[in-house]
Structure 1
């Protein structure tokens, strides 16, 4: 904010946000003695009452918090509902400002610093607009999408197991990624397994498969392949009837999960268009709308990280050094933001398999050094953090390095 913007406010309310409760200090435009101070419970009624008392002290009020997400989301929502302006002092900038006030640290002092900084150093704070709400929505959607993908993977594994129990030859025809195609999963959802397919007959199955969209040629070919596999098994395995009934249900659930994922992706696309960070991140190879939205939402304000190493530690992709006597080695870091780590690593994997790219060269270099696939991808993800930090800090788009680099 600019100093000229602060002239419009007569009261400055600083809130040190906590998990179960907050501490609030209210200052006027000139005096250093708090007009009001005290603890406030993490409760809507208590927050509303405290802000009402502060607002009654006179003049237009600016409410400043040290975090507008997580523990601070209720406070921000209540203040906005009351028609108050809300500002944010990032942790990194708070640390810079707090050095001026000495080394003592208490909730009361932190709240005083937040209030005083909002009136005397407005360049360090920024108004909280619609951005926090959009980021919160993206976090919810990406979390739901992760659950959907995990459940779908579990269903695929279960379906493979069921098909193998009923007819190993059929499971071989639909092995691995072949079952992930729309035609194959619809075939299982409709007929279940060997008994259902044989009852329908090859001619009827081929006609049905050929009537599906984009399957006029591939449908009949699949029917030929499936019935050729079924002809190799003349016996009926135990519990085949029950297995086929369950296979139909699992296949139907997979189709539903595919629809859910597409709906979530469409919603993420809509929200991503409102965040410039996502557009910047999507210029990086391997980072699409989902990973871009995930990385942007999980990072939040990039200024809260002092450097790229802090961001890498937060994401859980920075190796931990372990020294003992003459032994020195690095081990994988445990913990960190799992969703952010997954986005960095998975996008790195996609980029590593782009033929002729700098990422592929770096990946192969790590493999040549004796690293495993997982270690090489983690190293590439760590390198990617440096790029993301620089891009978000400077607001610049990705510029690929020459392969030799």
Structure 2
């Protein structure tokens, strides 16, 4: 059986450096040395091994620390695959020794690519789109987590110094009107000193429908507590800083950048509320379409991960045999003759429990 590849390069990827082991179809080592994680070094090694024939690059991690070797190998025109960790650990039990070293892992990856091509998984273009989704969704999750942390910190601070005020504005702590009141007035002392008229002006500017109701709830909560809990004065200094901290952590959106230079068009990524605007109170309108888009992205990520762990791809088995993968495979003719079940004549076809006893 002839192989389509003449060199099998196994890479045990790492943060600063990888370990590379190159084998020929007979198992002879063509290369075995550490490999710095830089594009010039990777290209030099790929070009050196490609002189022996078609090269197959196999990694144990196609994303994060293994993304650069995959990208460089693709740019050089070489086939790329990866060996899942579970399959690698099972294959490693067949080799002598128990030490887990980079050199041993790289050799196992290369030898598995040479002798067990069905264990490999292809690294195709779909993984690039999945990586882009991971970055965007990860950024969105970070913003959501940071906004939740600051909101919980504000509610915890209000619970300690004025529980009634926390009950009044806690459920609406992320509303722009509540955040603006805390930013301008501070804690309970500053809100009481601002007075009802100023609170109404701030609230109605950001919440025309619920502004009066919100101010009434705040004033009622302030009148319930007459004592001053230690830490109330410091809250007037901390709460406005919490609001500014949330604003500083939210980067400028694409829409803001376009408006800043007088451009009236909107980028495709700005349709609907922006990621940071939704989490930081800049746009709190309900957005069912945006929620559906977020759900769709999560489903795509899940499907992409399931696709990565599907059974061994036949592409590498065909390439090992020197054949070209075909999109339409002809089914093989059935040569086995299956036995036919013969029913005795005159006997009714009934279930065993309902069949009448004879004899």
Q: Which has the higher contact order (CA 8 A, sep 6+)?
A: 2
- 8 Å CA contact 1:47–1:75 kept in 2: the answer is yes
Distance 1:217 1:52, change over 3 A: same
For each residue in 1:41-95, what CA deviation from the matched residue of structure 2 results, as whole angstroms up to 9, or x when unmatched? 34325433321210223x4433233442355333213323434332334456768
Q: What is residue 34 of structure 1 aligned with on the other side?
A: 28
Q: Distance in 2 between matches of 1:25 and 1:301?
A: 25
Could you tell me whether the CA contact under 8 Å between 1:94 and 1:114 is conserved in 2?
Answer: no
SS in 2 for 1:231: helix
Larger radius of gyration: 2
Q: How much does 1:247 deviate?
A: 0.7
Please name the residue that 1:189 is paired with: 183
Q: Is the 8 A contact 1:24 1:37 kept in 2?
A: yes
1:219 is displaced (CA, Å) by 0.8
Please tell me whether the aligned partners of residues 164 and 224 of structure 2 are also in contact (alpha carbons under 8 angstroms): yes
Match of 1:14 in 2: 9
Matched, 1:25 2:22: yes
- In the other structure, the counterpart of 1:77 is 71
Contact 2:127 2:304 in 1 (8 A): no
Q: Aligned partners of 1:301, 1:293: CA distance in 2, in Å?
A: 12
Q: Is the 8 A contact 1:26 1:54 kept in 2?
A: no
1:153 to 131, 148, 153: 148
Looking at structure 1, the residues matched to 164 and 277 of structure 2 have their Cα atoms a distance apart, in angstroms, of 35
* 2:218 aligned with 1:223: no
Distance 1:207 1:95, change over 3 A: closer
Q: 5+ unaligned residues in a row in structure 2: which ranges?
A: 98-103, 254-272, 279-291, 313-359
Conserved 8 A contact 1:142-1:294: no
Q: Number of residues paired by the alignment? A: 269
Structure 2 match to 1:242? 234
**Secondary structure, in 3 states, of the residue corresponding to 1:87?**
strand
Q: Deviations over 1:24-45 (max 9, x none)?
A: 2243xxx525372323334325
Structure 1, residues 164-208: CA drift from partner, whole Å, max 9, x if none? 455443223123x33233432332223223333334321232133
Q: Which residue of 1 aligns with 2:165?
A: 170
Q: Is 2:67 the partner of 1:55?
A: no
Residue aligned with 2:172, SS = helix
**Distance in 1 (alpha carbons) for counterparts of 2:61 and 2:231:** 57
Partner of 2:295: 288
User: Paired residue for 1:115?
Assistant: 114
Structure 1 or 2: more helix by fraction: 1
CA contact (8 A) 2:58 2:110 kept: no
Instruction: Tell me by how many angstroms 1:291 deviates.
Output: 4.8
Taking the TM superposition and a 5 Å limit, the aligned residue runs for 1:358-369 are none
Aligned-pair Cα RMSD in Å:
4.3
SS at match of 1:216: coil
The 5 A counterparts of 1:98-137 are 104=96, 106-107=104-105, 108-117=107-116, 121=117, 125=120, 127-137=122-132
Contact 2:133–2:301, Cα closer than 8 Å, also in 1: yes
Find the aligned partners of 2:242 and 2:296 in 1 and give their Cα distance.
28
Long gaps (5+) in structure 1: 267-281, 306-405
Q: Which residue of 1 aligns with 2:348?
A: none
User: In structure 2, how many angstroms separate the alpha carbons of the residues matched to 1:201 and 1:265?
Assistant: 30
Shift of 1:218: 0.6
> So what's the TM-score if we normalise by structure 2?
0.58
Contact 2:22 2:32 in 1 (8 A): yes
2:288 is aligned to none
d(CA) in 1 for partners of 2:27, 2:62: 26
Secondary structure in structure 1 of the residue aligned to 2:164: helix
TM-score, normalised relative to structure 1: 0.52
Measure the CA separation in 1 of the matches of 2:197 and 2:276.
Answer: 38
